[in-house]
Structure 1
């Protein structure tokens, strides 16, 4: 088994950062407000990967690693293949959870139950670790199969998210397999690369939080059948209304009022805003409010008007909400924008 030690401090820092980021993603998945089975599966997946990576680092750098923790790491390794398979399956298919799925985790449960008795010399080095790696190779293959067959059901960003998640995990699984079975790669190659890679996953997921409620949203809108022409017409009507009548200036303006104004059911309007504009109603109207505020901040008649007054005039209920939205959309505070950003 090849072991790489480029720089102990660098490896430990990368591993710790990756572990902390994985734990963050696990907690984010668990406590996301849309409680769906796929969120729990994703949370458990990141949690199990964290344990496996930490176990790998401790095994290399801490000679007195407790035997039970080594077995815990192997149990986690046996779990994250099935977890990703089930997550991928439920991501691309609108199915209900079946209790029989728990059978996928029998090997992990067996290792956990014997975590204080299994040793390297009596089990792992005499075939146990090889069985683990072949077990995970099997799950890697069916994950790829489910992913390829589910591409047709995915939108572009959905496909990209699954590609990143599956691709990174396949690399991690193969690095362990290649190290022990093939003797080709260093032992820590997978954990260290994945420790960095998880930050890219985090960035993509934080920028696209809709993946936490995608399945429930698909079920909600599965009876909507808008042609391309109908969709374009509705979008044009929405944008015309917002630009000409500016209903967003009313702080009490809501999705129901917008739907009523255009004679469109609320659920259809919500679907259009979420899918076409890739945001929710609040985020959508805030774009118009911020653009209006930018004009007023530069208008000569508003130079002596308080920023809070401009915020209320543009439809915001509070100055803090206005400041947060303004910085999100422009990258600067309203006061800085007013004083230093040139008027285009």
Structure 2
């Protein structure tokens, strides 16, 4: 069945516009709430603004003519993407890093230069025009590739769920950016003969960003709010968690269904209040959730092991530290998105 060209055109515009609108809204939200946001998010906002303006121009240009000078201005905005990727990654990985205006503004100088010279840059299918466009892609690719190298070289050393989530988010963010750059090249060389393909992809990416943000709201909150008057600094909290993780891995205390926070705090040598605070600050979860994740991982190991293939799921649940089958089922489904029965079947097929 062939779709009416007009209907297809409206669908293209609708889907492509979703990403632009969401991205602009997200960027404005981040910029308007800068005081309540980690400073890294200012650069995420710049990234979203630059991309949304560029994609918005592409959507508009597909239906209406745009003056070459205006097109060059929008192309120049792409030079804000690379630096924004790098500063967002580096600051989210190192939130205490001091960043002065002079240390980052020069990275954006090429953008201002290109926008200031947009009257003199040809915007046609000629050689100079194509070299100019590819140089923009290379500029973004260099920053994004270096950001990826930085992330791969600086994996979290502390077994913190929060640090791991931030690292995974940044990997997704950078790799997705590189994929969009690759698709831009494929479209410009007509290997992908679909001009709005990048707009469609951008909409999907922004929706994924939004879902990730909803699932991990700590990415958009200052962690100092809750414990602003506390004497426990981040270094001390990380030290407590390092000792706690070591204790859990060595002694498997989580197998005790009656395990209390007070028992753990005594073994580490801190008060229950400070240990609870350290778990909240570093892991971004409470004590109960912290213990539960160890118990679920233990259950997963046993369910996947041939040594326990004849054990009932209820027996594995109790042996992993859960004190009821219902709490085990709820926790397992929450952490793995599948039931224990399905997990065991999947492992048996491998």
Does structure 1 residue 135 correspond to structure 2 residue 135? no
Any unmatched runs of 5+ in structure 1? 241-262, 285-344
Q: 1:178 to 1:140 in 2, by over 3 A?
A: farther
Match of residue 110 from structure 1: 113
Using structure 1 for the length normalisation, give the TM-score: 0.63
Per-residue deviation, 1:24: 2.1
Q: 1:132 deviation in Å? A: 1.4
Q: Is the 8 A contact 1:45 1:80 kept in 2?
A: yes
Aligned to 2:333: none
Match of 1:173 in 2: 181
Q: Do the aligned partners of 2:86 and 2:147 also contact (CA within 8 Å) in 1?
A: yes
Q: Deviations over 1:127-170 (max 9, x none)?
A: 21122122222223212212212323573322221122112211
What's 1:88 paired with? 89
Q: Quick one: structure 1 residues 132 and 222, their matched pair in 2 at CA, closer, same or farther if it must change by over 3 Å?
A: same
Deviations 1:61-114 (A, max 9, x none): 212x24443223212211112101111122223421142222211111112223
Secondary structure of the structure 2 residue equivalent to 1:152: coil
Q: Find the aligned partners of 2:233 and 2:221 in 1 and give their Cα distance.
A: 11
Aligned pair count?
255
SS of the residue 2:22 aligns to: helix
Task: Give the equivalent residue in structure 2 for 1:145.
Answer: 149
Q: Is the 8 A contact 1:37 1:97 kept in 2?
A: no
Return closer, same or farther for 1:173/1:13 CA change in 2, 3 Å cut-off.
same
Gaps of 5+ in 2: 1-5, 264-269, 291-350
- Structure 1 equivalent of residue 41 of structure 2: 39
Counterpart of 1:258?
none
Corresponding residue for residue 74 of structure 1 = 75
2:271 maps to which residue? 264
Larger mean CA deviation between 129-138 and 211-220 belongs to 211-220
CA contact (8 A) 1:140 1:173 kept: no
Equivalent position of 2:285 in the other structure: 278
Show the counterpart of 2:209. 201
Give the distance between the partners of 2:284 and 2:221, measured in 1 at CA.
Answer: 16
Q: CA RMSD in A?
A: 3.7
Q: Could you report, residue by residue, the CA deviation over 1:163-204 in whole angstroms, capped at 9, with x for unpaired residues?
A: 221122111111112233x54223322221121221111011
Note closer, same or farther for the CA distance 1:62–1:267 as it changes in structure 2 (3 Å cut).
farther
Deviation at 1:117, TM superposition (A): 4.9
* Residues 242-294 of structure 1 deviation map (CA, whole Å, 9 limit, x = unaligned): xxxxxxxxxxxxxxxxxxxxx838665333234446269xxx9xxxxxxxxxx
Q: How far apart are the structure 1 equivalents of 2:262 and 2:15?
A: 47
TM-score by length of 2: 0.62
| Shift in alpha-carbon separation, 1:239–1:165, aligned structure 2, 3 A | farther
How far apart in 2 are the matches of 1:176 and 1:272?
43
User: Aligned residue for 1:159?
Assistant: 167
Cα deviation for residue 215 of structure 1 reads 7.4
Cα contact 1:53–1:191 (8 A) shared by 2: yes
- In the other structure, the counterpart of 1:49 is 51
> Do 2:156 and 2:164's aligned partners in 1 also have CA atoms closer than 8 Å?
no
Quote the Cα distance in structure 1 between the aligned partners of 2:221 and 2:84.
18
Match of 1:189 among 197, 203, 206: 197
